[in-house]
Amino acid sequence: MFDILVYLYETYYRPDACPEPAALARKLSAVGFDDIEISEALDWLTGLTEMAVTEQIDASTGTRYYVDEEYIELGSPAIGFIQFLESAGVLTPVQREIVIERALAVDESPVTLGKLKIIVLMVMWSQGKEPDALMFDDLFGDDDEQAPRLLH
């Protein structure tokens, strides 16, 4: 599914340039993606669209506390990265909640950092926002297998 999300991000620079789901499924199939992956990706994107439309969270400067289920499903690296993005002003509280909801919708526990980064990119893409160049490099790079970054 994540390969499809990356393909969509790279192919359709804006979400409104993306074809309707039925036409998109045909295009993805023609490119060589598996039908099961296509179905999972389209379901995930539908959930993203629904979240963007219905999310009505007021902007908050308070601390976001994670319930045990969220902590288990997301994992410490993902939660830390979400907190980093929010403190850096890359994610708003509303976007943070959408990222969390979409990460919880993934059938993987805990969500890898690389996959979380794709989720963040897709949330921003769905809202027509692009991260700045330095943040884009950090988001698009998959550092699950690299050594953790250290502050000096």
CA distance 87 to 84: 5
Instruction: Name the domain count of the chain.
Output: 1
Does some domain include residue 134? yes
How many percent of the chain have pLDDT more than 70?
A: 78
Burial class (CB within 10 angstroms; exposed 0-12, middle 13-18, buried 19+) of 100? buried
pLDDT at 71 over 60: yes
Q: Where in the sequence is the domain holding 88, given as residue range(s)?
A: 2-140
pLDDT exceeds 60 at position 129 = yes
In a domain, 45, yes or no: yes
Domain annotation covers residue 74:
yes
Check residue 88 and give its pLDDT: 86
Only one residue has tokens 């059938």, namely 107
Least confident range from 54-63, 65-74, 83-92, 129-138: namely 54-63
In-domain check, residue 24: yes
pLDDT of residue 146: 46
